[in-house]
């Protein structure tokens, strides 16, 4: 069956591919305007509900510099959503003034971070995907460096393409048959379009119901092989039933789509044939409802046991998850796969249930990829450093690192209330340079911790927690760590006891001197690559 994951929504614009600027072209205006086939509000609705969006952008150049790397002000920029200017290019990300070749380290001239910035007399190009969806779509490209004799550039911008529905996994599990969620009255007077997925091992139950005085609308699982859509708009009750050749209570997901308008009503389950019922030519056409909309049960009838997800009513996805959090007998999300496969999420990744499986949430780990085993890393050129400010407990590492990368001028974030009796630090690195500082943790007090490579290439760990004149040093001699090979370091401290594990060698235990404090007071910031 077609998996809904693979559907792309594409929005086109009117800018020709390879639009020329400068040179002998008539386009003297260096501002290229893109007009889309949808309004900005419509595009915004698409990008915000998608899992992922991208837009291709390409700059072909002959003696025309693009971002003016490594240090200069960009010659060319693009304008995205909300009229914001952006100075990064395809294949790169916000706040990083590099083209794709600069990130992949394969620019024609390694002194520059874009192919075009080398200012060659031959044609070169910088291309890639813009995939930070909060900035899309591109509405203008402003080209700067085409006013010298012989300067020429060609710009291409692809359509905006979005994939995946963030609400696709919005689910609730009904664990008792009397439990239900309620939402405000369904406004479906002249047309109703309702779709959702369910999975259950029960043989019957009400999916949803909304009542009026005599009017009503209801969807239910009548038996293990029957789904029913019934309603009354004032001409007496109408019921449409789809019978499935296979059991529907097989604990697999099944899709239900029910529609009603003034002409007809229809019901479809999975890929089974559509059941249609024409409306009477005379009579009432308006569905008048007053009660709240009940999901997962209805007045006095046996409710639904199992999961419902991605419930859309007239184009709006109901937030089952939020409502389930505050409703007894209903749990947010849908359990199942994580109990069997949760152990595949490595390095402290969290298992998240999905439609036909599970995924791993790696946001609280230092890893990425489907199973949280792909290293997240950066290449540090000499003199480059990264600072990460400790927040109060409860803020995730990744939010902060990305925020630190985007603006190094973050206001001081204070968390002096944080005092550590124990901590665990683990990371991997490779370097050929010694001496160097790998990691340094500062504090609002005199306390600090550092991991460095000594001039000899040996690793040293320093702890200074107060109470002693000199920091406590752990020296790992007879091992050259500056040999360009990847090395893994794990340091676990619990009070006075420190355990160090290097690469695959057996762990070694150390102990802070008796005079030393055992509390790391008020950590302030973590520096990678250099101490400021």
Find the CATH number of the domain harbouring 265: 2.60.120.200
Please check whether residue 362 lies inside any domain of the structure.
Answer: yes
pLDDT band at 392 (very low <50, low <70, confident <90, very high): low
| pLDDT above 70 coverage of the chain, percent | 89
CA angle 502, 365, 530 (to 5 degrees): 60
Verify cis geometry, omega within 30 degrees of 0, for the bond prior to 70. Answer: yes
- Of the chain, the percentage scoring pLDDT greater than 90 comes to 48
**Whether 114 and 222 share a structural domain:** no
Through-space distance between the first and last CA atoms of the chain, rounded to whole angstroms: 57
Q: d(Cα 462, Cα 483) in Å, to the nearest integer?
A: 22
Q: Do 358 and 437 reside in the same domain of the chain?
A: no
* Dihedral Cα 233, 234, 236, 237, nearest 10 deg: 20
pTM to 2 decimal places: 0.46
For residue 448, the tally of other CB atoms under 10 A from its CB is 18
Would 97 be classed as within a structural domain?
Answer: yes
Question: Is the pLDDT confidence value at 396 over 50?
Answer: no
Question: Is 380 part of a structural domain of the chain?
Answer: no
State the CATH number of the domain containing residue 371: 2.10.25.10
Answer yes or no: do 367 and 287 share one domain: no
**261 closest CA partner among 239, 293, 233, 289:** 233
* Mean pLDDT (whole number) for 343-365: 74
Q: Is 61 helix (H, G, I), strand (E, B) or coil?
A: strand
pLDDT of residue 530: 73
Over residues 460-509, the pLDDT tens digits come to 999 999 888 899 999 998 789 999 888 889 999 999 999 999 988 889 99
Q: Which span out of 169-183, 229-243, 350-364 was modeled with the highest average pLDDT?
A: 229-243
Residues 152, 181, single domain; the answer is no
Residues 209 and 247 in one domain: yes
What SS3 class is residue 43? helix
Question: In terms of C-beta distances under 8 Å and separation of at least 24 residues, what long-range contacts does 460-463 make, across chains too?
Answer: 461/491, 461/498, 461/500, 463/493, 463/498, 463/512, 463/516
The per-residue pLDDT of the chain, averaged, comes to 85
pLDDT 10s digits, 42-65: 898 888 888 889 999 999 999 999
Residue 395 has pLDDT above 60, yes or no: no
Copy the structure tokens of residue 457: 């290439």
Per the document, the length of the chain is: 532
Residue 406's pLDDT is: 39
CATH code (residue 131): 2.60.120.1000
Clarify whether residues 50 and 111 are in a common domain. Answer: yes
Same domain for 133 and 281, yes or no, is no
Pairing of strands 357-361, 350-354: antiparallel
Reported as a pLDDT band with limits 50, 70 and 90, residue 529 is confident
99: in domain: yes
- The tens digit of pLDDT for each residue in 77-114 reads 999 998 999 989 999 888 888 899 988 888 999 899 99
- 48 and 180 inside one domain: no
Give yes or no: residues 323 and 344 share one domain: no
Question: Residue 310: which region, alpha, beta or left (left: phi > 0; alpha: psi -120 to 50)?
Answer: left
**According to the model, what pLDDT value does residue 54 have?**
93
Instruction: Identify the pLDDT of residue 411.
Output: 41
Rg (CA), the chain: 30
Token pair listed for 90: 């395809």
Confidence of residue 339 (pLDDT cuts 50, 70, 90): low
Residue 188 to residue 261: CA distance in whole angstroms: 9
Say how far apart CA 350 and CA 348 lie, in whole Å: 6
Reduced to 3 states, what is the DSSP secondary structure of residue 396? coil
Q: Establish if 414 belongs to a structural domain.
A: no
Question: Among 129, 119, 125, which Cα is nearest to 88's?
Answer: 129
- Closest Cα partner for 38 from 26, 30, 46, 48? 46
Q: Has residue 232 got a pLDDT over 90?
A: yes
- Domain residues for the domain of 230 are 171-332
What total number of domains does the chain contain?
4
Lowest mean pLDDT segment, chosen from 54-68, 147-161, 352-366: 352-366
Of 372 and 191, more confident: 191
Q: For residue 518, is pLDDT > 60?
A: yes
490 and 443 together in one domain = yes
Q: Are both 44 and 124 inside the same structural domain?
A: yes
- Whether 1 maps to a domain, the answer reads no
Is residue 219 predicted with pLDDT exceeding 60?
yes
> Which token pair is 263?
């002409």
Tokens of 281: 């030519």
Residues 355 and 440 in one domain: no
Q: Is 126 helix (H, G, I), strand (E, B) or coil?
A: strand
Output the CA–CA distances (angstroms, integers) from residue 94 to 70, 218, 403, 407, in the order listed: 16, 48, 10, 10
């Amino acid at each position: 069956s077609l998996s809904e994951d693979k559907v792309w929504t594409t929005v086109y614009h009117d800018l020709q591919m390879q639009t020329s600027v400068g040179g002998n072209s008539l386009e003297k205006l260096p501002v290229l305007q893109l007009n889309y086939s949808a309004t900005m509000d419509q595009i915004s609705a698409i990008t915000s509900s998608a899992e992922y969006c991208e837009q291709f952008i390409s700059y072909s150049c002959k003696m025309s510099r693009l971002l003016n790397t490594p240090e200069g002000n960009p010659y060319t920029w693009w304008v995205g959503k909300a009229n914001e200017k952006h100075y990064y290019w395809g294949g790169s990300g916000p706040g990083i003034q590099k083209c794709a070749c600069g990130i992949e380290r394969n620019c024609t001239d390694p002194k520059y971070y874009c192919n075009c910035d080398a200012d060659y007399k031959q044609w070169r190009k910088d291309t890639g995907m813009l995939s930070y969806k909060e900035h899309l779509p591109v509405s203008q490209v402003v080209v700067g460096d085409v006013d010298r004799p012989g300067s020429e550039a060609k710009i291409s911008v692809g359509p905006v393409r979005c994939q995946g529905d963030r609400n696709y996994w919005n689910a609730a599990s009904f664990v008792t048959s009397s439990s239900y969620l309620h939402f405000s009255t369904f406004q479906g007077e002249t047309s109703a379009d309702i779709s959702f997925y369910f999975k259950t091992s029960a043989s019957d139950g009400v999916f949803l119901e909304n009542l009026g005085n005599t009017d009503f609308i209801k969807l239910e699982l009548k038996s293990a092989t029957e789904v029913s859509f019934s309603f009354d708009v004032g001409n007496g009750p109408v019921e449409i039933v789809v019978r499935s050749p296979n059991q529907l209570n097989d604990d697999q997901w099944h899709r239900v789509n029910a529609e009603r308008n003034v002409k007809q009503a229809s019901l479809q389950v999975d890929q089974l044939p559509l059941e249609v019922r024409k409306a009477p030519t005379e009579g009432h056409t308006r569905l008048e409802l007053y009660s709240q909309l009940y999901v997962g049960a209805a007045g006095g009838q046996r409710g639904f046991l199992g999961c419902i997800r991605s419930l859309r009513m007239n184009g709006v996805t109901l937030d089952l998850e939020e409502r389930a959090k505050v409703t007894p007998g209903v749990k947010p999300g849908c359990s199942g796969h994580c109990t069997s496969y949760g152990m595949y999420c490595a390095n402290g990744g969290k298992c998240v249930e999905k439609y036909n499986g599970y995924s791993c949430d790696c946001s609280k780990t230092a890893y990425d990829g489907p199973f949280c085993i792909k290293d997240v890393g950066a290449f540090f050129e000499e003199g480059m450093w990264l600072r990460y400010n400790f927040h109060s407990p409860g803020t995730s590492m990744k939010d902060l690192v990305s925020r630190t990368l985007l603006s190094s001028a973050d206001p001081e974030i204070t968390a002096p209330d944080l005092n550590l009796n124990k901590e665990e630090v683990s990371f991997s690195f490779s370097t050929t340079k010694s001496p160097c500082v790998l990691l340094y943790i500062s504090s609002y007090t005199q306390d600090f911790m550092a991991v460095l490579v000594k001039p000899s290439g040996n690793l040293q760990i320093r702890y200074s927690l107060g109470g002693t004149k000199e920091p406590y040093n752990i020296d790992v001699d007879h091992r050259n760590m500056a040999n360009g090979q990847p090395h893994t370091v794990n340091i676990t401290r619990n009070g006075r006891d420190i355990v160090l594990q290097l690469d695959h060698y057996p762990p070694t235990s150390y102990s802070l001197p008796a005079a030393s404090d055992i509390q790391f007071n008020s950590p302030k910031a973590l520096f990678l690559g250099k101490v400021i």
